[in-house]
Amino acid sequence: MTPDAAARALFAEMSDSPAAGEWSAPGRVNLIGEHTDYNDGFVLPFAIDHRTHAVAGTNGSADIRVESTFADARVVVHLDDLDRMFPTTGQLAVPEWAAYPLGVAWALRRATDAPQIGVDIAIASDVPVGAGLSSSAAIEGAVASALNDVWGLGLDSVALARIGRRAENEAVGAPTGIMDQMASMLGRADAAIFLDCRSLHTEVIDLGFAAAGLEVVVIDTGTAHAHATGGYRDRRDACERGAAALGVAALRDLSAPDLARAERAMDATTFRRVRHVVTENQRVLDTVQTLRAQGPAAIGPLLDASHASMRDDFEISTPELDTAVAAARAAGAIGARMTGGGFGGAAIALTPHDRVDEVALAAASTFDEAGYAPPHVFTVTPSGGSRRDA
Ligand code: GAF
């Protein structure tokens, strides 16, 4: 069953009233610009053709009721109890998946004069979970768009992206930046979103992959990541330490000539974290310029350099991700890198159309030789952002 049909079927089971509408929001691939968003820097993600669907309608009570194909249980919370439930600092009062939609409802109530109107929300998705393709931002975008309309709030896409990030940061407890929510809200077909994470200014950058005979192959290693704990938070802390040591508001305020000074001002590990962010910001700018001047076939070396920086300086890659990237390059990809927060998840490989099968086979065989579980390999297409479907 398609996820939109699954969401409709789930809604019909859970609600006696007709749905008010159907909304959907996509996952994303980050083409380049990793761990730069919370450093006020630049990112270049695109929305993908895998979406989370939310069917929603009022239920005549003051309860939010959410159900999804992620789990069997329906979660019911009185609107007033949302305020007592969040923010959380780790110990969730609801199953983890439910903290995303309920966190969005909570954040909308905190930011607006949302009416005291209970809503039923049925959620289904074909965005792979734990692959670094932002299944969480897809839930947030679909639910934020749904509640925005059902409650008549009139917020724009950027405001809804901020709501999604607040839900993720304060309800789920994951200290992420705003890239994923912006990509999911604002994505455009055949284009990436060039986002300045300080001003939230965006530009749509044509990708032209199909016209150039290129495809983006995703190699999902099947090793899950979680951003609420562990390495992600540690890297974020290191970036803040680095910025403080240099007296700047954020690492965005540094560029390559500052690196010699940075090296003297901090320990070697913190310096390598800083160097990744400073060089990655520049690679985003270079990628945008290269796409405009030469087209997508010329960005491969920037993708490769980004991966090397994440592997060696930021140390967020894994043996599985490095294997996927190396296999894809050896099989004819013109550039490859891990995408997303790291510590697991997926790599992307920009690949000539006639090499896609070789890349998939190479990934499968090198994983087998290394004793890893088989990767999940598929292509994605840059697609539109959050929308009302019905
Ligand atoms: C995750 C986070 F959610 C983003 O905000 C971003 O920091 C990314 O990791 C790394 O670039 O997807």
CA angle 95, 27, 300 (to 5 degrees): 135
pLDDT tens, position by position, 253-296: 999 999 999 999 999 999 999 999 999 999 999 999 999 999 99
- At residue 224 the predicted structure's pLDDT band, cuts being 50, 70 and 90, is confident
Domains in the chain with CATH codes: 3-204 (3.30.230.10), 207-380 (3.30.70.890)
Give the residue, out of 37, 100, 165, 182, with the most ligand 1 atoms within 8 A of its beta carbon, to mutate for a pocket test: 37
Q: What is residue 261's three-state secondary structure?
A: helix
Instruction: Please work out whether the CB of residue 37 comes within 6 Å of at least one atom of ligand 1.
Output: yes
| pLDDT band per the 50, 70, 90 thresholds, residue 151 | very high
Q: Please check the confidence at residue 90 and state whether its pLDDT lies above 60.
A: no
Using the atom order of ligand 1, give the atom closest to the CA of residue 35. Answer: 11
- Could you give the CA distance from residue 327 to residue 178 in angstroms, rounded to a whole number? 31
Assess whether the previous peptide bond of 87 is cis (omega < 30° from 0).
yes
Per-residue model confidence (pLDDT) at position 93? 74
Mean pLDDT (the chain) is: 96
Q: How many angstroms does the Cα of residue 300 sit away from the middle of ligand 1?
A: 21
* Mean pLDDT along residues 364-377: 98
Atom of ligand 1 nearest to the CA of 136: 3
Supply the ipTM of this predicted assembly. 0.99
Reported as a single tens digit per residue, the pLDDT across 348-364 is: 999 999 999 999 999 99
Nearest CA to ligand 1 atom 2: 176
| % residues pLDDT > 70 (the chain) | 97
Which residue's alpha carbon is nearest to atom 1 within ligand 1?
Answer: 341
- Is residue 225's pLDDT more than 80? no
Residue 133: closest CA among 190, 179, 71 = 179
Q: Which two tokens stand for residue 74?
A: 């329906």
How far apart are the CA of 346 and the centre of ligand 1, in A?
13
Query: pLDDT of 305-354, one tens digit each?
Result: 999 999 999 999 999 999 999 999 999 999 999 999 999 999 999 999 99
181 CB less than 6 Å from ligand 1? no
* Any ligand 1 atom below 6 A from CB of 340: yes
pLDDT value at residue 72: 79
| Ligand 1 mean position, distance from CA 339 (Å) | 9
Q: Please say if the pLDDT value at position 89 is more than 60.
A: no
Q: Ligand 1 within 6 A of 4 CB?
A: no
Q: Is the pLDDT of residue 229 over 80?
A: no
From the CB of 341, is ligand 1 less than 6 Å away? yes
Is 149 annotated as catalytic? no
Q: Is the pLDDT of residue 192 over 70?
A: yes
Question: Model confidence at 375, in pLDDT bands (50, 70, 90)?
Answer: very high
pLDDT of residue 353: 98
Asked whether 343 lines ligand 1 (CB < 6 A), one says no
| H helical segments located in the chain | 3-14, 79-85, 96-111, 135-150, 157-166, 179-186, 231-245, 259-265, 268-293, 300-312, 319-330, 356-370
pLDDT on residue 83:
84
pTM: 0.97
Is residue 345 in contact with ligand 1, taking CB distance under 6 Å? no
